[in-house]
Chain A
Amino acid sequence: MAEGFDVFDAVSRRMKWLEERQGVLSKNIANADTPDYKPRAMEDPEFVGALQRELEPMQPRVTNAGHINAGVPGAQTPEAEEQDETYETAPNGNAVVVEEQMVKVADTQQSHRAMTNIYRKYMDMFRTAWGSGGGG
């Protein structure tokens, strides 16, 4: 395993984000004709931030006997927010553009497939090391 970087953990967290996003998109599409409905969107994760958290996690340091040795709360579940910019708003106040949402669904699916493939490849590396199939 790479020093200090857990691929399985990173992949599963990315997958969790993608599944969350798929849920948000499915809500948007289901409400494509609901009056006054504004589409919601997930904030894109920042690669640099994620890497930093992974390699050198921020930790409060105990520098005084009076300090409490507390940890940093774990990664929070991502949340969707109302989309800032929308292409157009229908006269009934609905701002969902089905095409835009479908593109995001396709993108989510592709990324999810990429993640499952990374997971599988990484697993194959272990299999090779164990000597049970996978290029052995």
Chain B
Amino acid sequence: MDLSKTLHIASAGMKAQGDRMRVISENLANANSLARTPGGDPYQRQIVTFDNVMNDEVGVNQVKVDDVVKDQSDFGKTYKPGHPAANEEGYVKTPNVKSLVEMADMRETQRSYQANLKVIESSRQMMQGLISLMR
């Protein structure tokens, strides 16, 4: 393990967190996306899963986004008789996105991203120290 590999590992972690942030922003942006047809399903919340994958070029296990899956929890419903997606009783299904949960996820993502950034900074300073020995 040399220091440059830690840079690869940390940057892969940052990329994975970046993808996760993208999905969170999709969820938040679609928190009010309803269906168009009567009784149709609204936007379904997405979840990111992580996995470790061997990178043969660098020779280390790197974290990457495994899959983006749909949250299977129940949709909410609200009474909107005039809406095009309303069913016979006048109810419209609402997305299963909870902004509080998304906000918490966002903070966690940010924290992990920063931690990876700090690792890169720290490794870089260690390398700098080694290079300065040559002077």
Q: Which residues of A contact B (CB under 8 A)?
A: 15, 18-20, 22-27, 29-35, 37, 98, 101-102, 105-106, 108-109, 112-113, 116, 119-120, 123
Cβ contact within 8 Å between B118 and A105? yes
Q: How far is the CB of B21 from chain A (nearest CB, A)?
A: 12
Cβ contact within 8 Å between B52 and A34? yes
Cβ contact within 8 Å between A98 and B111? yes
Whether A27 contacts B115 in the complex (CB less than 8 A), given A19-B126, A116-B130, comes out as no
Query: Which residues of B, 1-19, contact A by the 8 Å Cβ criterion?
Result: 1-3, 5-6, 9-10, 12-13, 16-17
Cβ contact within 8 Å between B108 and A33? yes
Cβ contact within 8 Å between A29 and B10? yes
Cross-chain contact of B123 among A26, A31, A106, A120 (Cβ < 8 A): A26
Across-interface contacts of B6 in A (CB, < 8 A): 19, 22-23, 25-26
Cβ contact within 8 Å between B122 and A22? yes
Closest residue of A by beta carbon distance from B111: A98
| Number of B residues, CB within 8 Å of A | 36
Cβ contact within 8 Å between B2 and A19? yes
Whether A109 contacts B122 in the complex (CB less than 8 A), given A32-B115, A101-B115, comes out as yes
Closest residue of A by beta carbon distance from B10: A26
Cβ contact within 8 Å between B9 and A23? yes
Closest residue of B by beta carbon distance from A27: B9
Cβ contact within 8 Å between B133 and A116? yes
Determine whether B61 belongs to the interface, using a CB cutoff of 8 Å to chain A: yes
Query: Which residues of B, 91-135, contact A by the 8 Å Cβ criterion?
Result: 108-109, 111-112, 115-116, 118-119, 122-123, 125-126, 129-130, 132-133
Determine whether B30 belongs to the interface, using a CB cutoff of 8 Å to chain A: no
Besides the contacts A20-B1, A23-B60, what 16 more A-B pairs have beta carbons closer than 8 Å? A19-B2, A19-B126, A22-B1, A23-B1, A23-B9, A25-B6, A26-B9, A26-B123, A30-B12, A30-B62, A102-B118, A105-B122, A106-B122, A113-B129, A120-B133, A123-B133
